[in-house]
Every structure is written in structure tokens, then in C-alpha cells.
């Protein structure tokens, strides 16, 4: 029997009944639905719309349902349509006609908006702690690798050597922005629509601020139409989540490249890699590949929500039911990927010191520093740049590196080269010399490590 069945003469077509139902996925909102209903019942009792005794009995009934759900007694049944209807029906079974008073001054339209916002605020808090855990894992790697050098790339061509710590710190920064973005989104999720009723408010003397406060919301919607039809926050959330996935998939891609034989910068530990069913020699980077791959579904949810919302007339439309799976799956995907990436960083990467140092020694990535050397001898940068270009060409034709040139050969190219040019070609000296703020110079990286230690590991010290 539907809550709305009196109006209808015939029952629903069984396929349509299933098609219409959301309980298979929105049962996930049970905790929030119960919290919302308890706050609503307390408000009805406090304002005298129902008696305080009735409110108390409803609250007790709702807590019984919570217990029954935790024991697996109260389960989703698609005949109940959605979680809101299921709870109300169960309450009425438990309390008799009193259960039917719960929905006074409320509609499922403001109810579902309240549940989803409550759920999302809680999940954003949870994502924030996962993001912080990943930052800490990256920080620990960074701290241990201040003096480990790695080639830095632009266009995936060797550019200049870097401190590996600097590389990890870049990701800590990105994730810092993700956290601040999610916290901005949270401010706009943290608004209570309850009391907007179906679309226009109610004639009963409800107290919206009371329920909002009870539920921990910071604010209430000012306009009842907007309250039941605003889904901006779902788009904002999936947009912020998409950027998290962009960052995770960039890091994943680097780990995949680094672990290839071509790079050989890192080998994946047995705990975090998988074998091939056919090729016995293989160790596959499935974990970062999955993280990279899963970004697609989160971007898809963002696109789906934008399309679902566009062109909808005021106020509530059933289209909104489609927001839930997108939000639930976005949360689950991002939180799983964050956990997997944290494990991968913590225990999945063995950096191959030998290949890394061979890599930074065996290229022309100190060429900029030769140009800077000439600049220090008062040669204009553009001219210095041309001179070094010529040197690189000479080396390439002789199949040697810059460090293999003799002082005589340096001098032949330009008289101002002195013996100290050889020190300039040592990658560690090159890195140490990047003294500008935010650069990869060891002292600058140490400053950044101190900043993040303070923020992540030992705040207020």
C-alpha cells in the first residue's frame, strides 16, 4: 500500500513500480533519514503541533528502527519505493496511527534534500581526513628523500634535476587545494531545506531554525522553492571530487611511468603490484592504473549531474532522484582511490637510487646552469643561451656529455670558462643552487618541509 494510494484506483504496473523506486540505493541515507526525522519530531513536539509525549514516542520508535537496521532486521524492500517511505511505514507498524503524525508539515521533497545534505557534509569530513592521510604519506616520502635527485621534465623531455622531496611536495600542495575546495563546497552543502515542505512552505507553526540547529546545520534556505530544487551542491561536490581525481591520476601516471623498465626509477613492492596470468616476468602497476581509470567515472558523474539539472522547471522534479547514485559513487570512488594511493605511497614504492643517480648524471639537464654561469660572467642571457646550444651540439656530435669536455675544449668555446665550470655540472650542486623561493634548492625544500610538518604532523609547535 503506497502512502499516496487513496488517490489512485489501480495499482502500479510492476515494472514501473521498480523503475520508480530508489530504495535499492537511497537506503544508504538511512542514518541521516532517521536523524532528520528525529529532529523534525522533536520540533513538532516543541512547537505543540503534536504533544511532547507523542514526539517522544516517535523518537523512540525511530531509534528502534535504527537498532533493527543494525541487526539486519530492517532491510530495503523495493515495494517501499524509497528510504523515507520505508521508515514511515515501519514506524506506523511499530506505533500504530501515531506513526502517521511524523510527516506533519514536511514533504519528501524537503526531507530528501535534508538527508542528502547531511550525508554529504559527513562524507566531506571523511574525505578531508583521507586527503590529509595522503598528504602525510607524501610528506614522509618527501622528508626521507630531500637529497635524492630525480630528473625534472617538461614536455616529458629531461629538463633540470630536482630534489625528489620537491616533487612530492608539489602533490601535497595540490591536495591542500583539494581540501580547501571541498571545505568551500561544504559551506554550501551545510544549509537546511527542511520546512520548505513540498515547495511553498507550510501553514503549520513549524520552527525551521530549531530543526536546522538540532541537525548541526549552519543555516537554513531563505526561499522554499530554491530549498527543494537546488542541486548546485551536487555539481560543486563532483567538480571538486573531479579535481581530486585529476591529481590522483597524474600521480598514478607518474608512478606507472617510473616503474616501467624504460624509466626504472621505482620498483613496486609485492604488496602493491600484481602479476600477469601469461607472462611470468611481469609485475604490473594495477593499483595506479585503476586509480587513473576510475577518474573517468567521477568526471562522468559531474557531466551527468550538470545535464540532469539543466532546464528543469521549478520546483522539485523526480529527475533529482538521479543525483544520489552519482554522489554516492563519487564519494566511494574518491575515498577508495585516496586510501589505495596512500597505501601505495606508504608501502608500494622502492626508489632505485642507482637508476635515479645514473639518470641525472647522463643527460644535458645542467645546460641551463652553464648558461647561468656565463650570465654571471656578464654575458647577456640570450647570447649565453646560444653559446650553450652550440656546446650541446658539439657534445652530441662527439657522443659525450657536458662533464666530459676538457677545460681546453671549454676555453676554445668561450674564454671565460674556468675550472669551476666542472662544479657547476654536478647535479647536486645544480639543485642546491636553485635558491629562489619555491624552487628545488635543498634549503628552500627544507623550508617547505618545515611548513608542512607544522601543518600536518605537529601543529601548534
Residues marked as catalytic: 155, 276
Report residue 43 CA to chain centroid gap: 36
Q: Based on CB atoms, which residue is closest to ligand ARG, 321 or 368?
A: 321
Q: Which of 44, 55, 95, 112 binds ligand ARG (CB under 6 A)?
A: 112
Q: Which of 74, 119, 258, 316 binds ligand ARG (CB under 6 A)?
A: 316
Q: Is 22 an interacting residue with respect to ligand ARG (CB under 6 A)?
A: yes
Determine the size of the site formed for ligand ARG (CB under 6 A): 11
The residue count for the chain: 461
Q: Is 32 an interacting residue with respect to ligand ARG (CB under 6 A)?
A: no
- Contacts (CB under 6 A) with ligand ARG, residues 442-461: none
Least distance to ligand ARG, CB of residue 284, Å: 40
- Stretch of residues binding ligand ARG (CB under 6 A), selected from 38-46, 161-169, 313-321, 328-336: 313-321
Q: Quick one: which of 404, 198, 420, 186 has its CA closest to 316?
A: 198
Q: How deeply is 459 buried, as exposed, middle or buried, from its count of CB atoms within 10 A (0-12, 13-18, 19+)? A: exposed
Least distance to ligand ARG, CB of residue 210, Å: 23
DSSP 331-376: HHHHHHHHHHHHHHHHHTEEE-HHHHHHHHHSSSTTHHHHHHHHHH
Residue 219 φ/ψ, nearest 5 degrees? -155, 170
Q: Which of 171, 221, 233, 320 binds ligand ARG (CB under 6 A)?
A: 320
Q: Based on CB atoms, which residue is closest to ligand ARG, 112 or 360?
A: 112
Interatomic CA distance for residues 320 and 312, integer angstroms:
10
Q: Which three cell numbers stand for residue 53?
A: 509525549
- Identify whether the C-beta of residue 125 lies closer than 8 Å to the C-beta of residue 62: no
Which ranges of 145-219 would DSSP assign to H, the alpha helix?
A: 164-189, 208-214
- Stretch of residues binding ligand ARG (CB under 6 A), selected from 47-55, 66-74, 106-114, 172-180: 106-114
Q: Is 109 an interacting residue with respect to ligand ARG (CB under 6 A)?
A: yes
Residue 267 preceded by cis peptide, ω within 30: no
Tell me 267's DSSP state: E
- Stretch of residues binding ligand ARG (CB under 6 A), selected from 241-249, 294-302, 312-320, 366-374: 312-320
Q: Based on CB atoms, which residue is closest to ligand ARG, 109 or 342?
A: 109
Q: Which of 103, 106, 108, 166 binds ligand ARG (CB under 6 A)?
A: 108
- Stretch of residues binding ligand ARG (CB under 6 A), selected from 104-112, 351-359, 367-375, 391-399: 104-112
Q: Which residues lie closer than 8 Å to 24 by C-beta, 6 or more apart?
A: 76, 78
Q: Based on CB atoms, which residue is closest to ligand ARG, 26 or 363?
A: 26
Tell me 437's DSSP state: T
Q: Which of 33, 59, 82, 110 binds ligand ARG (CB under 6 A)?
A: 82
Query: In the complex, which residues of this chain contact ligand ARG (CB under 6 A)?
Result: 22, 26, 82, 108-109, 112, 316, 318, 320-321, 324
Amino acid at each position: 500500500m503506497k502512502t499516496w494510494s487513496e488517490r489512485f484506483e489501480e495499482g502500479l504496473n510492476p515494472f514501473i513500480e521498480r523503475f520508480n523506486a530508489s530504495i535499492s540505493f537511497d537506503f544508504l541515507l538511512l542514518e541521516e533519514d532517521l536523524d532528520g526525522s528525529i529532529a523534525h519530531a522533536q520540533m513538532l513536539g516543541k512547537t505543540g503541533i503534536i504533544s511532547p509525549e507523542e514526539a517522544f514516542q516517535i523518537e523512540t520508535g525511530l531509534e528502534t528502527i535504527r537498532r533493527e537496521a543494525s541487526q539486519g532486521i530492517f532491510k530495503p524492500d523495493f515495494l517501499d519505493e524509497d528510504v523515507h517511505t520505508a521508515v514511515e511505514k515501519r514506524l506506523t507498524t511499530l506505533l500504530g496511527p501515531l506513526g502517521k503524525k511524523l510527516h506533519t508539515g514536511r514533504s519528501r521533497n524537503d526531507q530528501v534534500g535534508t538527508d542528502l545534505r547531511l550525508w554529504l557534509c559527513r562524507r566531506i569530513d571523511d574525505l578531508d581526513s583521507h586527503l590529509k592521510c595522503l598528504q602525510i604519506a607524501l610528506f614522509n616520502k618527501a622528508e626521507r628523500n630531500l637529497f635524492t635527485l630525480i630528473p625534472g621534465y617538461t614536455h616529458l623531455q629531461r629538463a633540470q634535476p630536482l630534489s625528489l622531496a620537491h616533487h612530492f611536495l608539489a602533490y601535497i600542495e595540490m591536495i591542500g587545494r583539494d581540501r580547501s575546495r571541498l571545505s568551500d563546497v561544504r559551506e554550501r552543502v551545510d544549509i537546511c531545506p527542511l520546512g520548505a515542505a513540498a515547495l511553498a512552505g507550510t501553514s503549520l507553526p513549524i520552527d525551521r531554525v530549531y530543526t536546522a540547529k538540532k541537525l548541526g546545520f549552519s543555516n537554513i534556505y531563505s526561499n522554499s522553492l530554491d530549498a527543494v530544487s537546488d542541486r548546485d551542491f551536487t555539481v560543486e561536490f563532483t567538480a571538486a571530487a573531479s579535481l581530486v581525481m585529476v591529481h590522483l591520476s597524474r600521480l598514478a601516471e607518474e608512478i606507472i611511468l617510473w616503474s616501467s623498465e624504460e624509466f626504472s626509477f621505482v620498483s613496486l613492492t609485492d604488496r602493491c603490484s600484481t602479476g600477469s596470468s601469461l607472462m611470468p616476468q611481469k609485475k604490473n602497476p594495477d593499483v595506479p592504473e585503476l586509480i587513473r581509470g576510475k577518474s573517468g567515472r567521477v568526471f562522468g558523474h559531474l557531466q551527468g549531474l550538470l545535464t540532469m539539472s539543466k532546464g528543469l522547471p521549478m520546483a522539485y522534479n523526480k529527475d533529482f532522484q538521479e543525483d544520489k547514485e552519482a554522489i554516492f559513487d563519487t564519494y566511494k570512488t574518491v575515498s577508495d582511490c585516496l586510501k589505495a594511493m596512500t597505501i601505495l605511497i606508504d608501502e608500494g614504492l622502492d626508489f632505485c637510487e642507482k637508476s635515479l643517480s645514473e639518470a641525472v648524471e647522463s643527460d644535458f639537464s645542467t645546460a641551463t646552469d652553464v648558461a647561468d654561469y656565463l650570465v654571471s660572467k656578464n654575458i647577456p642571457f640570450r647570447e649565453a643561451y646560444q653559446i650553450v646550444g652550440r656546446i650541446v651540439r658539439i657534445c652530441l656530435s662527439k657522443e659525450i656529455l657536458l662533464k666530459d669536455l676538457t677545460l681546453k675544449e671549454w676555453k676554445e668555446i668561450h674564454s671565460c670558462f674556468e675550472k669551476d665550470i666542472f662544479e657547476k655540472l654536478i647535479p647536486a650542486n645544480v639543485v642546491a643552487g636553485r635558491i629562489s623561493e619555491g624552487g628545488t634548492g635543498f634549503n628552500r625544500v627544507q623550508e617547505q618541509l618545515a611548513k608542512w610538518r607544522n601543518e600536518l604532523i605537529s601543529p601548534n609547535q
